[in-house]
Structure 1
Amino acid sequence: MKIIVQKFGGTSVASDEARIAVKDKVQQAVRKGYSPVVVVSAMGRKGAPYATDTLIDTLKSVNLSVNVREMDMLMCCGEIISACVMAATLQKYGINAMALTGGQAGIITDSQFGAARIKNINVSNLMHLLESGIIPVVCGFQGVTENNFKFTTLGRGGSDTSAAALGAALKADFVEIYTDVEGIMTADPRLVKEANILQQISYAEVCQMAYNGAKVIHPRAVEIAMSSNIPMYVKSTFSDAPGTLITSESNGRRNGSEIAINESCVSGVAHLSDLAQFRIELNPADFAAGRNLFEDLADAGISVGSLNLSEKEAMFAVFSPDVEHTCKVLEETGFKYTCNTECAKVSVVGSAMRGVPGVMANFVSALASKNISILQTMDSDTTISAIIKEEHLVDAVTALHQAFKL
């Protein structure tokens, strides 16, 4: 049996027209000899009656400090509605389908409500349905605890994670992530009109792009696929474009044409906005100062990124909603600091940049050409990033996209 997993996002199941497009994708898979397992997100986005954010607002209107168990139970309702409606749509067109909750599909998690981790997947029920010619329509984003069968949710991007984990457990031939764009792009097309669709990209590159702000697919899903070496495709529900293949290696192809490695060793530009940068003075004679700083922040529940640490200074970034809390912790613990608000982070990502001289020079020159000051840089083998003022974000992303010939 050739099994594939097809995941459809909220916009793909939000209307009758969209659900018919989903039905067409499922039928195409069946005609090609595959046995599909369909995974769905909640219908629509915030404001839509059954969207997850709408359900959250409904519960918070009753009690702002609602119990996390009840919150997870409510959030699971969006996907349950979506799975039932999608299964009914398939049945309407003569396709034998059955809606399943995450638990009924065998997804067992820990009990960390709101951000549960998958511990195990028992695929026996899914295999029984597939062998009987029934297409399972599984609620993404959710599972159940092992002992007491409480509903849990997997956190943002959880439907992608569900699809990848089911693909790994079922030893699927591949996983398809359907959305409202035609693939992973070299930059956010809302910022760069010339952004192109990548034909193929590596797991590692996609993870880095996602962690640095690209929102097409959740990095946890890619990590699961990478650990099982299952190919993933990112495609549009609403077109027959081939999409982007995510696999073990990037082949440097964009829009079907070869790109020489010396012309562009970068696969894409990603960005994060709404950041604040902190600079902390450290005493060079106090060898534990840096450790104490980050322990204090961790104890306060503050997540920091974009880290630089030297004997005299520490630099990091937090999202703007955490600024006030961070300032309070630093003042209470006696650290002297400055805070740069209204910042953003721009990154270039590419596994081919490893060991290539001149990449940083090209990065800095691109930003300098637009008179953009760099407040801080960070780099790894596959990523170069800079903290800049947010007012320069569009110019920065565009300049990097052009400089690396994407």
Structure 2
Amino acid sequence: MRNILVQKFGGSSLGTPEKRDLVVDKIIDSINQGYKPVVVVSAMGCAGAPYATDTLINLAKESYGYINPRDKDLLMSCGEVISTVVVGQKLKSRGYDYQALTGAQAGIITDDNYGDTKILEVNPDRISQALEDDLIPIVAGFQGITETGEITTLGRGGSDTTACVLGAALHAEMVEIYTDVEGVMTADPDLVPDAKTLKHITYTEVGELAYQGAKVIHPRAVEIAKLEEVPVAIKSTFSNEVGTVISSKLKQTDKMDIKGDQLVAGVASRTNVSLVKVIPREEKEFATDLDCFEALAQAGISVDFINARSEMITFIVSSELVEKTEEVLVKTEYNYEISNNLIKISVVGAGMTGQPGVMSKVVQALEKNGVSIYQTTDSHTTISCLIKKDDEKKALCALHDQFNLAE
């Protein structure tokens, strides 16, 4: 079946009847353009809204503070299911038939790692049948089912992942991710006033930007789209702008975005990180202290920004894992210090590969603006620095200017 278009709508697009009217407009527009839409929806609204996920969790905790992971996933899946029917009824009022589907009914099979489950396989037969029957499938994002019939959720950005995995399974022409921004931007516009929307960006670049703190799409969703080479468009529900197209390569005819000297696609920051220092009691213990990485790995803790020296080992972890990290280090009797006053800023661009002098440009821009660098790391497409939290906006603006990203 050809002309399939997967359209994902986040919670910010679904919170009011007026917003849901705009969502339905987008769906109907795609039909008028000759597509067969498959719609993926998130839970409606933000914390405090009646059907928001946080509201449902707080409701359950009124009686007893702890919810076991299985039951929490069952509860957290409800918001998206509600959205499928509410959006479907809007479509019905405009004369379009729909079929609301949970993640399980849509054929999304996962492992049983509740709260952050991985998709094992997808059987899209029921969605394909709905399309054959001229129904609009509306799928609850963020969720699936185990092989033993347990409801699971996919973790942060799970609805993006649902959309991309369905796009791959259905061989869709494109996946559209609708949000409250115009597309992928060169920086967070709240921090960098002259940030601009990119017309095109590669999977690698947007995945790295997302991993480094940009919140426009989840890295796992990008990896799925990249693997199957399904183009993804990031668009705003609230405008008719073309947004940003993510694909394996940028359009070589796009003279505005493709320049010989365009090293960097964007800049981003991760503020939810903590710096961990493991300090040997004696220099001879250095090799033993390196074993802390194995202990952390066994506890499922991912580390980044590693710097190993005889007098100190440093790395960063996500802030939500600090308590768990401390538990591991205490249990294994390591000396350690944890700092929460630093952030990670990054410049990302496929054009940096093999180009000398990029790190120098980064250092010069930050030093010129009085930003102290505590540690750096780099890869083919990314250069990252640890800096003080208070310098975030100043550093991002400096790097944005240094690489002429506003042009």
| Bigger Cα displacement from structure 2, 10-19 vs 179-188 | 10-19
- Whether the aligned pair in 2 keeps the contact of 1:46 and 1:52 (CA below 8 Å) is yes
- Whether the aligned pair in 1 keeps the contact of 2:371 and 2:395 (CA below 8 Å) is yes
What residue in structure 2 maps to residue 346 of structure 1? 345
Whether 1:240 and 2:240 are equivalent positions in the alignment is: yes
What residue in structure 1 maps to residue 222 of structure 2? 222
What residue in structure 2 maps to residue 75 of structure 1? 76
Amino acid at match of 2:98: A
Tell me, in whole angstroms, the C-alpha distance in 1 between the residues paired with 2:372 and 2:252.
30
- Whether the aligned pair in 1 keeps the contact of 2:200 and 2:257 (CA below 8 Å) is no
Deviation at 1:139, TM superposition (A): 0.4
What residue in structure 2 maps to residue 272 of structure 1? 270
Whether 1:121 and 2:119 are equivalent positions in the alignment is: no
Tell me, in whole angstroms, the C-alpha distance in 2 between the residues paired with 1:400 and 1:154.
34
Tell me, in whole angstroms, the C-alpha distance in 2 between the residues paired with 1:242 and 1:82.
25
Tell me the alpha carbon deviations over residues 343-373 of structure 1, each in whole angstroms, 9 at most, x when there is no partner: 1110000011011111000000111011111
What residue in structure 2 maps to residue 382 of structure 1? 381
Tell me, in whole angstroms, the C-alpha distance in 2 between the residues paired with 1:274 and 1:141.
22
Tell me, in whole angstroms, the C-alpha distance in 2 between the residues paired with 1:189 and 1:310.
38
What residue in structure 1 maps to residue 67 of structure 2? 66
Deviation at 1:103, TM superposition (A): 1.1
Tell me, in whole angstroms, the C-alpha distance in 2 between the residues paired with 1:351 and 1:136.
37
Tell me the alpha carbon deviations over residues 92-136 of structure 1, each in whole angstroms, 9 at most, x when there is no partner: 000111211111111111222111111121111111110111100
Deviation at 1:284, TM superposition (A): 6.1
Change (3 A) 1:103 1:156: same
Deviation at 1:291, TM superposition (A): 3.7
Tell me, in whole angstroms, the C-alpha distance in 2 between the residues paired with 1:253 and 1:347.
28
- Whether the aligned pair in 1 keeps the contact of 2:198 and 2:257 (CA below 8 Å) is no
What residue in structure 2 maps to residue 168 of structure 1? 168
3-state secondary structure, aligned to 1:184: coil
Tell me, in whole angstroms, the C-alpha distance in 1 between the residues paired with 2:242 and 2:317.
37
What residue in structure 2 maps to residue 136 of structure 1? 137
What residue in structure 2 maps to residue 297 of structure 1? 296
RMSD over aligned Cα atoms: 2.0
State, as a whole percentage, how many aligned pairs show the same letter.
49
Tell me, in whole angstroms, the C-alpha distance in 2 between the residues paired with 1:13 and 1:328.
40
What residue in structure 2 maps to residue 358 of structure 1? 357
- Whether the aligned pair in 2 keeps the contact of 1:279 and 1:339 (CA below 8 Å) is yes
Tell me the alpha carbon deviations over residues 157-197 of structure 1, each in whole angstroms, 9 at most, x when there is no partner: 11000000101110111100000111000001110110100
Change (3 A) 1:327 1:249: same
| Bigger Cα displacement from structure 2, 95-104 vs 277-286 | 277-286
Tell me, in whole angstroms, the C-alpha distance in 2 between the residues paired with 1:252 and 1:193.
28
3-state secondary structure, aligned to 1:317: strand
Whether 1:189 and 2:194 are equivalent positions in the alignment is: no
Q: How does 1:13-162 map to 2 (within 5 A)?
A: 13-147=14-148, 149-162=149-162
**What is the count of residue pairs matched by the alignment?**
403
3-state secondary structure, aligned to 2:20: helix
- Whether the aligned pair in 1 keeps the contact of 2:85 and 2:100 (CA below 8 Å) is yes
Amino acid at match of 2:241: A
Amino acid at match of 1:318: V
Amino acid at match of 2:160: D
Tell me the alpha carbon deviations over residues 190-244 of structure 1, each in whole angstroms, 9 at most, x when there is no partner: 1011010011001011111111111110111110000000000000011110000
- Whether the aligned pair in 2 keeps the contact of 1:201 and 1:252 (CA below 8 Å) is no
Tell me, in whole angstroms, the C-alpha distance in 1 between the residues paired with 2:333 and 2:82.
51
| Bigger Cα displacement from structure 2, 376-385 vs 61-70 | 61-70
- Whether the aligned pair in 2 keeps the contact of 1:308 and 1:378 (CA below 8 Å) is no
Tell me, in whole angstroms, the C-alpha distance in 2 between the residues paired with 1:366 and 1:91.
55
Change (3 A) 1:253 1:272: farther
- Whether the aligned pair in 2 keeps the contact of 1:252 and 1:260 (CA below 8 Å) is no
Whether 1:369 and 2:371 are equivalent positions in the alignment is: no
- Whether the aligned pair in 2 keeps the contact of 1:348 and 1:385 (CA below 8 Å) is yes
Q: What is the TM-score normalised by the length of structure 2?
A: 0.94
| Bigger Cα displacement from structure 2, 344-353 vs 62-71 | 62-71
Tell me, in whole angstroms, the C-alpha distance in 1 between the residues paired with 2:378 and 2:44.
38
| Bigger Cα displacement from structure 2, 95-104 vs 355-364 | 95-104
3-state secondary structure, aligned to 2:305: strand
Amino acid at match of 2:135: I
Change (3 A) 1:337 1:145: closer
Q: What is the TM-score normalised by the length of structure 1?
A: 0.94
- Whether the aligned pair in 2 keeps the contact of 1:353 and 1:359 (CA below 8 Å) is yes
Tell me, in whole angstroms, the C-alpha distance in 2 between the residues paired with 1:23 and 1:275.
38
Tell me, in whole angstroms, the C-alpha distance in 1 between the residues paired with 2:11 and 2:325.
34
Tell me, in whole angstroms, the C-alpha distance in 1 between the residues paired with 2:253 and 2:210.
20
